[in-house]
Structure 1
Amino acid sequence: MTLTTFLINLLTALVMGVLIGLERQITQHPAGLRTNALVAVGAAMFMSITPLIGFETSPTRIASYIISGIGFLAGGVILKEGINVRGLNTAATLWCTAAIGTLAGTGHVAYAATGTGVILIIHLLLKPCSDWIDNWAKGREGENHYRLRVIATAQNEDLVRSIILRLINSQNRMTAQGISVFKADKEEEFEVVADIMSRGNQDKEMQDVITRLRIDTGVSLASWKQVQSKDP
């Protein structure tokens, strides 16, 4: 492999990685422009080792090491928030970007470009379809009403209320209809009751709100239940 060929392969991997990373950066995902570019270029450099040393090492063996290694990197972008898992699409994208870099590193420019196009189509066209399916599935059951109950220490009243509102507002299909604050049985505690309306079943999201609230210092009780509209 000449230096010119090496540079062409590296630039191909860089361009493909940047294209994939640009879409990720615009949509504000953890692994964006630089991460995807580095993954693609790194994979291309690894695949360039074989021709540089005279094909003494099997290219498929190096590719298998890249596949294994990218698994550790992808694992770092998968986050667990309560009962929700985020970052799976980002991890899968890094895995695909490594494959693009592997193709570019072996000089298969047309195949690398085709693979990049398919990845971008998946992100740009299938995401709206996926969102529509999620909204349709959640909307089949109509309107649901929930009541959230939290007991915490008095000095954390403002913090707890702001967290509740932020968590509810972060859910696209949930709306806070009212928040009331009462004196709890213990002198140093207060009780917050929030009435929430949702489109479709949001049991999973409600449990996630509870899990997040229980993490905070000062919250001694956090629970939710599904209620009828305008329940006392």
Structure 2
Amino acid sequence: MRFITTFQLADFIDTLVSLFSAFVLGTLIGAERQYRQRTAGLRTNVLVAVGAAAFVDLAMHLDGAGGAVRVISYVVSGIGFLGAGVIMKQGMDVRGLNTAATLWASAAVGSCAGADMVAQAAALTVFVIAGNTLLRPVVNAINRIPLNEKASEATYYVKLAVSTEALPVLRDQLVEKLEAANYPVADVAVVETGDEFLEIIATLVSTAVDPNELNAVVVDLQHQAGVRHATWESNTAD
């Protein structure tokens, strides 16, 4: 049997240390995710870390550092496909990005352990857990700050509900008044609302705005003949 001639106790112990380190560190990362009931919890993060460590360790024993570097590049791309599976889009909301990023970090921890860089793997684990826990209050505090339209860049829409007869004239007026207020229009769409009115939606070039200026444009358009109502809104989901 080739196993008898190729088995070396020192290499086997080295592999065990790499896999055990990846298992413990992956458990620490996964436990925090499991506590918060995320899609990828304890077992997933452990398997990602141990799997990455196994591939890198195998490459290290077969082809040295050069082989490990090549395998690590494939681990990074492979985890990208796995992370895409936990990302879900629900309307304008995208969920699972943090979970996918954590899986990516777990793979990095496992790769460090597989490359016999256990201390670096432990340090990375500390930073990953800190990012998922210590930064949470900071995120919540930022989210509670009211949105300042003058300081934030978002996508803004100006909408007019108009009669069919007034559509051509009001569409041109909408673009002219917005550009006169120094808000260039990126796109204009017309949507049927199901009654005798149509909705004109002007998408502004992504920029910061002065709410008072947009309000003035909307009020002016509201008084035009054929306009049922006029409004504007913003979208910062992107």
TM-score by length of 1: 0.58
Whether 1:107 aligns to 2:116 is: yes
Partner of 2:91: 82
Whether 1:7 aligns to 2:10 is: no
Whether 1:127 aligns to 2:136 is: yes
Q: How does 1:162-201 map to 2 (within 5 A)?
A: none
Aligned residues: 142
CA RMSD of aligned residues (A): 2.1
Q: How does 1:16-35 map to 2 (within 5 A)?
A: 16-35=25-44
Counterpart code for 1:75: A
Change in 2 beyond 3 A, CA 1:56/1:97: closer
Whether 1:46 aligns to 2:55 is: yes
Gaps of 5+ in 2: 1-9, 150-230, 233-238
Please report how far the alpha carbon of residue 115 of structure 1 lies from its aligned counterpart in structure 2 after TM superposition: 0.2
Partner of 1:59: 68
Structure-1 separation of matches of 2:47 and 2:77:
17
Change in 2 beyond 3 A, CA 1:91/1:122: same
Are the counterparts in 1 of residues 60 and 67 from structure 2 also a CA contact under 8 Å?
no
Partner of 1:197: none
Q: 1:98 aligns with which of 107, 128, 137?
A: 107
TM-score by length of 2: 0.56
Please report how far the alpha carbon of residue 56 of structure 1 lies from its aligned counterpart in structure 2 after TM superposition: 8.7
Please report how far the alpha carbon of residue 2 of structure 1 lies from its aligned counterpart in structure 2 after TM superposition: 1.2
Please report how far the alpha carbon of residue 139 of structure 1 lies from its aligned counterpart in structure 2 after TM superposition: 10
Structure-1 separation of matches of 2:112 and 2:38:
24
Please report how far the alpha carbon of residue 131 of structure 1 lies from its aligned counterpart in structure 2 after TM superposition: 1.2
Q: How does 1:125-164 map to 2 (within 5 A)?
A: 125-137=134-146
Gaps of 5+ in 1: 141-224, 227-232
Change in 2 beyond 3 A, CA 1:31/1:56: closer
Structure-2 separation of matches of 1:10 and 1:41:
6
Structure-1 separation of matches of 2:33 and 2:68:
29
Give the 3-state SS of the residue equivalent to 2:86 in structure 1: coil
